Chains A and B, each alone.
Chain A
Amino acid sequence: MKLVVTHSPHIKTPDTTKRIMTDVLIALIPASISAVVNFGWRAFLLMAVSILTAMLTESILKNYKHGLGHALQPGNIFGDGSSAVTGLILAHILTPLLPLWMAVIGAFLAIFVGKHVFGGIGQNSFNPALVGRAALLAAFPLYMTQWILPIDSLAGATSLVTGEGSYLMLFLGRIGGCIGETSALAIILGGLYLLYRGHISWHIPTAYLGSTALISALLGTDPLFAVLAGGVAYGAIFMATDMVTTPMTPKGQLVFGLGCGLITVIIREFGGLPEGVMYSILIMNALTPLIDKIMQPRLFGGGVSA
């Protein structure tokens, strides 16, 4: 009998980082299907290239000390699954016309600059996929803002620019936009799965979408259109809920969501860009340590007199 001796507790939750990341990938399946249905094989290639680049970049950065052969083993390429999540999310927030080599650069920068420069998983301040997208937008602004409409593939602007699109079209994603963020239906399905699995809580999505709708309405925009069009639904459910770069306490998460909504609408209504989701989340990412510091839970027995 060989006995293992460790510190307590001796039983653990079945959840692991890898399982959480795998669940996020599962939650992204509906949006991925919607991407292919609406934008065809190019969307598929973008996702494949982005995921692969992200996974290889991460595996090499993590394992290069043990040699390239070690880094290229399938198990190590997938690793904890977090790089695949970053790669897929980055692809979802790219335009369908983007040249594939640009997606490769974006995914590489997302993992390298967005994550490993800070020290790898858990250490990064900013959402890596958004860092990748911000870099691409800065480097290739024209390519990053070419839009097509689904199916007929005519050149066109996103619905936020045109202000067009029936609710049903917005819901199904049959509108112009980034490949993964057009279908509210697919996003909601993924969000419900993450809620069910306990990997996200309602706080950030509700605060983000709620504040976006409310502030838009105050400024005279149709609130339902405001949350269905553009990238806010995708951002609220898949990016503003990233565990690493958002506050840990429910109160902090509400503040984070409210801030995202406010900045998104300000950029949309008054800024020079049609969409403000990316910068709103990045700005709130930067504020997360501060929010965590201020919004600490009340100590049990704190402030209670003897």
Chain B
Amino acid sequence: MTSATFKGGIHPPEYKGKTEHLAIQRMSVPDKVYVPMVQHIGAPCKPLVKAGDLVLTGQKIGEIGGFVSAPVHASISGKVKRVTERDVVSGQTAVCVEIESDGEDKWVEGCDLNRKLEDLEPDQIIEIIKEAGITGLGGAGFPTYVKLLPPKDVKIDSVILNGAECEPFLTCDHRLMVEESAKVVDGLRALMKALKVTSGYVAIEDNKPDAIAKVKEATAGFDNIQVVSLQTKYPQGGEKQIIDAVLGREVPSGKLSMYAGVVVNNVHTAVAVAEAVRTGRPLIERVLTVSGSGANKPQNLLVRIGTLMSDVIEYAGGVSEKTAKLVVSAPMTGFAQYHLDFPVEKRIAGIVAFLEGEVDLLPESPCIRCGRCVEACPIHLLPTKLDKLSRLKRYEEAAKYHILDCISCGTCTYVCPARRHLIHSIDIGKQEVRALMRG
């Protein structure tokens, strides 16, 4: 069977062997959590609790702060110690609710229902997803319910579940598709019903044949759901790339993917949707991949949101003394950290520890116009040109060269033999162009 794909892209080493066959382990409930009020793209939540309040697991502690936003919930039961700003993964600070565990992990009511999808109307499904605080678990963290409420002039005909997991090292989606294939399909069916569409796809890179087989098994009997095998290539899991590969449609330049008639969700998101729809349980935990040569015991861990990353690493067996770089979530688009004192968020898919010698610190040198960035760019941009224009602060020209179409996948920077910091300066250029456009 040939696998679908897009034009451009790269094939970095996969580094998935250490964890792809390891079943997901559940981490014990931590003694304390720091639940950030921003774990999504959009407006921060307004805290609903104050120091001294008692909370139950699953209780809403942050109210939606705007149309594009998602509520957050207590991930353990216990006492709110304080509500305060602290470091989060992005390198910035955010308001976090600190909860001290009472050791009982008592759940709020309404989290062990047994609802059936057949009994729910589309509006009810959307409300459930919204109230459960579900956001895109693939990394971007876009509130899921917003995708289910497209403007009137947009006609959605398909839902794609993104099981590409094209980032090296990550295997959390892979394991979920193998271990929770029924929930993946249930979640997809709920999303399809919410959007009133009849075609659903689960798109999986062909380096995960076991996941493809399991999900195929789980879709038996659902004629309107297809499992699509994708070529293993980065950034195959990019929204525009996966739509191109699965449906042969290009998302119009400057538009959201719904303008191609498609809503794309990550498979992990679908599992969260399935759980919320059936049991009423909000999103309070997710699977992380702990990997890299610096990780003492690479593994896939189911972790409560708000757990400190230092606690996760300690539980997972620690990292080597020779660790030289810690990257959250994954190496192509993730953030390098200078400490581990930050809480796990909904959008963190893993942590990778690199050893000394694995960190490329070669200095930047002049562009030799090899054209590899141009060849590899999945959006068919001229990264080296955008890099130069951005450094020269010629932002208006950069806009004409479509700098805002860049998806910041980092492919150009991966292939650059001159080690140009392409994506870095292009990202700065994008911010400046957006600022110019706002006036």
A positions within 8 Å CB-CB of B: 1-13, 15-17, 19-20, 80, 82, 120-123, 199, 243-250, 296-302, 304-306
B positions within 8 Å CB-CB of A: 12-13, 168, 240, 244, 250-255, 259, 319, 321, 323-327, 331-339, 352, 354, 359-362, 365-371, 374-375, 377-382, 384, 402, 405, 410, 413-419, 421, 423-424, 427
How far, in whole Å, are A8 and B244 apart by their CA atoms in the complex? 25
Question: Given A6-B336, A19-B417, does the pair A300, B240 have CB atoms closer than 8 Å?
Answer: yes
- On chain A, the residues within 8 Å of B374 by CB distance are 248-249, 297
Distance in Å: Cβ of A68 to nearest Cβ of chain B:
23
- On chain A, the residues within 8 Å of B365 by CB distance are 17, 80, 121
Distance in Å: Cβ of B11 to nearest Cβ of chain A:
10
Distance in Å: Cβ of A302 to nearest Cβ of chain B:
5
Chain B interface mostly helix, strand, loop or mixed?
A: loop
Q: Which of B251, B334, B367 contacts A10 (CB 8 A)?
A: B334
Q: Are B336 and A5 within 8 A (Cβ)?
A: yes
Question: Given A8-B334, A305-B252, does the pair A248, B382 have CB atoms closer than 8 Å?
Answer: yes
Question: Given A1-B323, A9-B413, A9-B414, does the pair A301, B405 have CB atoms closer than 8 Å?
Answer: yes
Q: Are A17 and B324 within 8 A (Cβ)?
A: no
Chain A interface mostly helix, strand, loop or mixed?
A: loop
- On chain A, the residues within 8 Å of B333 by CB distance are 8-9
How far, in whole Å, are A304 and B325 apart by their CA atoms in the complex? 41
- On chain A, the residues within 8 Å of B252 by CB distance are 301, 304-306
- On chain A, the residues within 8 Å of B321 by CB distance are 1
- On chain B, the residues within 8 Å of A3 by CB distance are 323-326, 336-339
How far, in whole Å, are A249 and B373 apart by their CA atoms in the complex? 10
11 further A-B contacts with Cβ under 8 Å, apart from A16-B418, A244-B368, are A3-B339, A4-B325, A5-B338, A10-B354, A11-B13, A121-B365, A299-B380, A300-B240, A300-B244, A300-B378, A301-B240
The winner among B168, B325, B368, B380 for most chain A CB atoms within 10 A is B368
Task: Please name the residue on chain A nearest to B234 by beta carbon.
Answer: A9
How far, in whole Å, are A300 and B414 apart by their CA atoms in the complex? 20
Q: Are B324 and A7 within 8 A (Cβ)?
A: no
Can you list 8 A-B pairs with a CB-CB distance of less than 8 A? Answer: A8-B423, A13-B12, A13-B414, A243-B368, A300-B250, A300-B253, A304-B250, A304-B252
How far, in whole Å, are A121 and B427 apart by their CA atoms in the complex? 25
Task: Please name the residue on chain B nearest to A122 by beta carbon.
Answer: B366
How far, in whole Å, are A43 and B339 apart by their CA atoms in the complex? 59
How far, in whole Å, are A249 and B331 apart by their CA atoms in the complex? 28
Q: Are B253 and A304 within 8 A (Cβ)?
A: yes
- On chain A, the residues within 8 Å of B378 by CB distance are 300
Question: Given A122-B367, A300-B379, does the pair A10, B255 have CB atoms closer than 8 Å?
Answer: no
Q: Which of A11, A13, A120, A300 contacts B417 (CB 8 A)?
A: A13
Distance in Å: Cβ of B69 to nearest Cβ of chain A:
26
Q: Are B253 and A301 within 8 A (Cβ)?
A: yes
- On chain A, the residues within 8 Å of B366 by CB distance are 120-123
How far, in whole Å, are A121 and B368 apart by their CA atoms in the complex? 7
Q: Are B380 and A298 within 8 A (Cβ)?
A: yes
- On chain A, the residues within 8 Å of B362 by CB distance are 12, 16
Question: Given A8-B423, A9-B331, does the pair A17, B418 have CB atoms closer than 8 Å?
Answer: yes
The winner among B337, B379, B421 for most chain A CB atoms within 10 A is B379
How far, in whole Å, are A297 and B367 apart by their CA atoms in the complex? 19
How far, in whole Å, are A17 and B372 apart by their CA atoms in the complex? 12
- On chain A, the residues within 8 Å of B423 by CB distance are 7-9
How far, in whole Å, are A210 and B369 apart by their CA atoms in the complex? 25
Q: Are A4 and B359 within 8 A (Cβ)?
A: yes
Q: Are B369 and A244 within 8 A (Cβ)?
A: yes
Task: Please name the residue on chain B nearest to A297 by beta carbon.
Answer: B380
Task: Please name the residue on chain B nearest to A121 by beta carbon.
Answer: B366
- On chain A, the residues within 8 Å of B253 by CB distance are 299-302, 304
How far, in whole Å, are A120 and B367 apart by their CA atoms in the complex? 11
How far, in whole Å, are A301 and B251 apart by their CA atoms in the complex? 5
Task: Please name the residue on chain A nearest to B425 by beta carbon.
Answer: A7
The winner among A12, A15, A299, A304 for most chain B CB atoms within 10 A is A12
How far, in whole Å, are A17 and B370 apart by their CA atoms in the complex? 9
How far, in whole Å, are A306 and B261 apart by their CA atoms in the complex? 9
Distance in Å: Cβ of B155 to nearest Cβ of chain A:
11
How far, in whole Å, are A239 and B321 apart by their CA atoms in the complex? 49
The winner among B332, B362, B417, B418 for most chain A CB atoms within 10 A is B417
Q: Are B335 and A11 within 8 A (Cβ)?
A: no
How far, in whole Å, are A246 and B427 apart by their CA atoms in the complex? 27
Q: Which of B371, B410, B416 contacts A248 (CB 8 A)?
A: B371
The 9 closest A-B pairs by CB, nearest first: A248-B371, A9-B410, A122-B366, A297-B380, A301-B253, A10-B331, A7-B424, A306-B259, A243-B370
